[in-house]
Amino acid sequence: NTESSPLHVVLFPFLARGHVPAFLRLATLLRALRPGLDVTLVSTPHILASLTLPPSSPPVRLHALPFSPADHGLPAGAHSLADLQVHQFIPFFRASESLRPAFEDFISTVHTPTCIIADAFFAWTADVARAASHAVFLPGGAFGNAVFFSVWEHLPHHALTDAADEFPLLPDFPDVVLHRTQIPRYMLAATGADPWSAFFRRVVASCRATDAVLVNTVGELEPAGLDMLRRCFGARTWPVGPVLAEPPSSGSSESPDDDAAIIRWLDARPARSVLYVCFGSQNSVTAAQTAELALGLEASGVAFLWVVRPPLERDAKEGFDPAWLPAGFEGRVEGTAGLGLLVRGGWAPQARVLAHRSTGAFLTHCGWNSVLESLSCGVPMLGWPLGAEQFFNAKLVAEWGVCVEVARGNMESSKVTREAVAEAVGMVMGETGKGGEMRRKAASVSRAMAAAWEEPTRGSSAESLEGFLRSVETAAGRW
Ligand code: UDP
Centre of ligand 1 to C-alpha 371, Å, is: 10
Q: What is the pTM of this model?
A: 0.94
Kindly state if the Cβ of 216 falls inside 6 Å of ligand 1.
no
376 lines ligand 1 (CB under 6 A): no
Q: What ipTM was predicted for this assembly? A: 0.99
> From the CA of 364, how far away is ligand 1's center (Å)?
10
Residue 140 CA: nearest ligand 1 atom is: 19
The SS3 call for residue 282 is coil
Q: Tell me the CA distances in angstroms from 178 to 320, 409, 410, one per residue in order.
A: 36, 14, 18
Residue 371 CA, closest ligand 1 atom number: 20
Sequence-separated (6 or more) residues with CB below 8 Å from residue 463: none
Query: What is the phi-psi region of residue 388: left when phi exceeds 0, alpha when psi lies from -120 to 50, beta otherwise?
Result: left
- For residue 339, give the nearest of 294, 374, 384, 406 by alpha carbon: 294
**Closest of 36, 31, 14, 258 to residue 123, by C-alpha:** 14
What is the dihedral angle through the alpha carbons of 449, 452, 455, 457, rounded to the nearest 10 degrees? -150
* Alpha helix positions (H), 213-255: 223-233
| CB 391 within 8 Å of CB 182 | yes
Residue type, 306: W
Q: How far apart are CA 260 and CA 356, in angstroms?
A: 13
Question: Which string of DSSP letters, residue by residue, matches 153-221?
Answer: HT---TT--GGG-EEEEETTEEEEEEEGGGS-HHHHH--SSSHHHHHHHHHHHHHTT-SEEEESS-TTT
Q: Is the CB–ligand 1 distance for residue 368 below 6 Å?
A: yes
| E strands present in 225-347 | 236-239, 274-278, 303-307, 340-343
Q: Which atom of ligand 1 is nearest to the CA of 368?
A: 19
pLDDT per residue as tens, the chain (479 positions):
334 567 899 999 999 877 898 999 999 999 999 998 999 999 999 999 988 777 766 789 999 999 999 999 999 889 998 888 888 999 999 999 999 999 999 999 987 888 999 999 999 999 886 778 999 999 999 999 999 998 888 876 665 555 455 665 667 788 888 888 888 888 888 888 889 999 999 999 999 999 999 999 999 999 999 999 999 998 899 999 999 976 544 444 567 788 999 999 999 999 999 999 999 988 899 999 999 999 999 999 999 999 999 999 998 888 999 999 999 999 999 987 789 999 998 899 999 999 999 999 999 999 999 999 999 999 999 999 999 899 999 999 999 999 999 999 988 778 899 999 999 999 999 998 999 999 999 999 999 999 999 999 999 999 999 999 999 999 888 77
The answer to whether the CB of 242 falls within 8 A of the CB of 218 is: yes
Closest atom of ligand 1 to CA, residue 347 = 8
